[in-house]
Amino acid sequence: MSAFVIENDVMDRIMTLLTAQTWLGQVARQIDTYVLSSAQMDDLDGLPRAMFQLNRAAVAYRYPHHQEPEADAALAALHDAYRAPRDRLFLRYDTTEHRGALCDGLKALDCFLYQCNEGDQFSDTAIYRDLRGTCDQVREIIVSGLPEYEAASWG
């Protein structure tokens, strides 16, 4: 297993997913209870900064002999300056029309979680668990909206 620090465009896709407004009615509120507390909604850059910090720590744990203090400090400064893409936040998604965007955000979030899965000290954090729960919810939303799922026999 290898690990890397995700780039800003991956975080942009995650934040677009996490702030999406309507998916089958109440889903935005369900995700809000998992990840985006009202305090985090007021500080939309706090969550990605915490995620970047977790990602960097997991990669440093995975590769303890490959640390470069100057490069690590520059990356931390870049992440601390990250701002969520305001023009892409709070979109109103419908699962049938925007399934591709939901899948794109889900894949980005799966990538992030994979990069942070380097030890219990990372996967046992509240932010990791909350984002894992969000992945499960989004996956369920996507699958339950598929015509193949609707057409499948119930019993």
What integer pLDDT is reported at residue 116 of this predicted model? 92
Query: Chain-wide mean pLDDT for the chain?
Result: 78
Residue 110 contacts by C-beta under 8 Å, 6 or more apart in sequence? Answer: 135
Given a contact cutoff of 8 angstroms between Cβ atoms, the answer to whether 34 and 130 are in contact is yes
Q: Among residues 49, 57, 58, 50, which one has the least CA distance to residue 2? A: 58
121-134 pLDDT, tens per residue?
888 888 888 888 88
Distance CA 42, CA 95 (A): 26
CA-based torsion, 23, 28, 29, 33: positive or negative: positive
Residues of the chain with pLDDT below 70 are: 1, 21-44, 88-97
What integer pLDDT is reported at residue 101 of this predicted model? 80
